Chains A and B, each alone.
Chain A
Amino acid sequence: MSELPGDLLYTSEHEWLRREDDGNVTIGVTDHAQAALGDLVYVELPELGQDVESGGDMAVVESVKAASDVYAPIDGIVVAVNEDLADDPERINADPYGDGWIVKLQPSGDIDEGALLTPVAYQTLLDEEDA
């Protein structure tokens, strides 16, 4: 397993968040998640402007094997979606932390970092799942 990017926050649902300079938050699924899903074949993205609530469904990623919900890790508004995934969902397999990003949210308040996982905490979670 490759090393986790150190500049991201994570969730126990195997998603990552990047706090951008403009205050928005980019969200995707982790390398662990894409590997568990297998080859991605379809991504259902939310509408721009949609309100999302922390813990609620936000997008769906479907692989050859199964469909899996992508949950909003924070409250916010959808300000961008990765349109390239419509034609090329395997970007998530190839580059989960880069070209395979899924949604950008504008947070509707302060982000509670205590509810999210640091790279070290997420790595611990992965190690526990492997054990």
Chain B
Amino acid sequence: MGLKTPLYGKHVEAGARIVDFGGWDMPLHYGSQKEEHHAVRTNAGLFDVSHMTIVDLKGGRVRDLLRHLLANDVAKLKDSGKALYTCMLNEDGGVIDDLIVYFMHDSWFRMVVNAATRDKDLAWIRRHAESYDVKVIERAELAMLAVQGPKAREIAAPCVDAEWREQALDLELFTGMEAGDLFVARTGYTGEDGWEILLPAMRAPSVWDRLVAGGVAPAGLGARDTLRLEAAMNLYGSDMDETISPLEAGLGWTVAWDPDERDFIGRGSLEKLRADATRRRFVGLLLEDKGVLRNHQRVVVDGVGDGEITSGGFSPTIGRSIALARLPAGDYDRAKVEVRGKLLNVRIVKTPFVRNGQIRIDV
């Protein structure tokens, strides 16, 4: 028996197969993971992501704190509601967690961090917040829904009170806003358009019902994983962890090097790795032979060395197996993956594999 979100009853009602995820009893799928995946790519799907940890940081020096704590630079966030994807690093440049941070106003930022890393994240944030006199407030009373897909915003719009509806529909990508007791953001983890909606736990079941009645398909963690893999979005604990820097996890673009004088945690270690020509590559793979790529399979690059698949699976959109992998440095575009003693051919491809319903690689 694990922790249950306010929507647990809805999952059971909808026939979900429940699995443990970081201590939470969460829906894996509601019958067919593939159908849920396609629903998100072609119409709209609904995920319960209430297990994720929402943290509000409040205080006059909160911006200074976050410019030290996070590898991306919250100084980029100038308009209220604007969001940033970033890693939180340890001194060695390893990733403690990846997260989204929203700028609410000058003395208030909101972070959404992973469920499985909640305890260590909160401890780390609190440890650093103290000297900045910033309050760290976990918002466990909030539920979180992700409604994702080309039709998601249109179908979800009536859940936002009329007063704010138009403004919500006009939200730019990676921006959120308060709409009464809802917080609506144009963010997600699927490679599709859509919203993530934070709301009081009490209201979550009725909003869930309303979205389902509007034609949004409940989708479980299984589809969430294949969707994010196709979108080449990293999964903490698989693609990176405390021993891996963002530079070897395909997240170099989230590290803000300018201005030089900004002293964020892990910067010194990252600077060294940045100059290191033997730094590993993080790439997308497409399987050319039959089979399925899986996490931890060995990748063999002839004449170069070995690497490892960090996230592998079957892509329902492409109909082939794809993966994210960490490979030795070098200039090459083919490799082999060891699957049950056989070496299968893979091609290195530019990610994302799929975005906004479209296959983006040559197959």
Contact residues in A for B290 (Cβ distance below 8 Å): 42, 86
Of A38, A42, A44, A66, which is in contact with the most chain B CB atoms at under 10 Å from its CB? A38
Q: Which residue of B lies closest to A65 (CB)?
A: B222
Task: Determine if B314 and A64 form an interchain contact, defined as CB atoms under 8 angstroms apart.
Answer: yes
Task: Determine if A60 and B33 form an interchain contact, defined as CB atoms under 8 angstroms apart.
Answer: no
- A33–chain B nearest beta-carbon distance, Å: 14
Whole-angstrom CA separation of A5 from B294 in the bound complex: 34
Q: Which residue of B lies closest to A60 (CB)?
A: B340
Of A39, A44, A66, A67, which is in contact with the most chain B CB atoms at under 10 Å from its CB? A39
Whole-angstrom CA separation of A44 from B339 in the bound complex: 11
Residue in A42, A44, A64 whose CB lies within 8 Å of B33: A64
**Total count of chain A residues near the partner, CB < 8 A:** 13
Task: Determine if A38 and B292 form an interchain contact, defined as CB atoms under 8 angstroms apart.
Answer: no
B290-302 CB mask vs A (1 if < 8 Å, else 0) is 1110100000000
B28 at the interface (CB under 8 A from A): yes
B34 at the interface (CB under 8 A from A): yes
Of A41, A42, A64, which is in contact with the most chain B CB atoms at under 10 Å from its CB? A64
Residue in B34, B291, B294, B321 whose CB lies within 8 Å of A39: B34
A62 at the interface (CB under 8 A from B): yes
Question: Given the known A-B contacts A62-B314, A64-B314, A65-B33, are A44 and B222 also in contact in the complex, defined by CB atoms under 8 Å?
Answer: no
Whole-angstrom CA separation of A82 from B33 in the bound complex: 24
B309-326 CB mask vs A (1 if < 8 Å, else 0) is 000011010000100000
Contact residues in A for B234 (Cβ distance below 8 Å): none
Residue in A62, A64, A65, A66 whose CB lies within 8 Å of B316: A64
B32 at the interface (CB under 8 A from A): yes
- B31–chain A nearest beta-carbon distance, Å: 9
B positions within 8 Å CB-CB of A: 17, 28-29, 32-34, 222, 226, 290-292, 294, 313-314, 316, 321, 340
A38-B222, A62-B292 known, 6 other contacts, Cβ within 8 Å: A38-B32, A42-B292, A62-B314, A64-B222, A64-B314, A66-B294
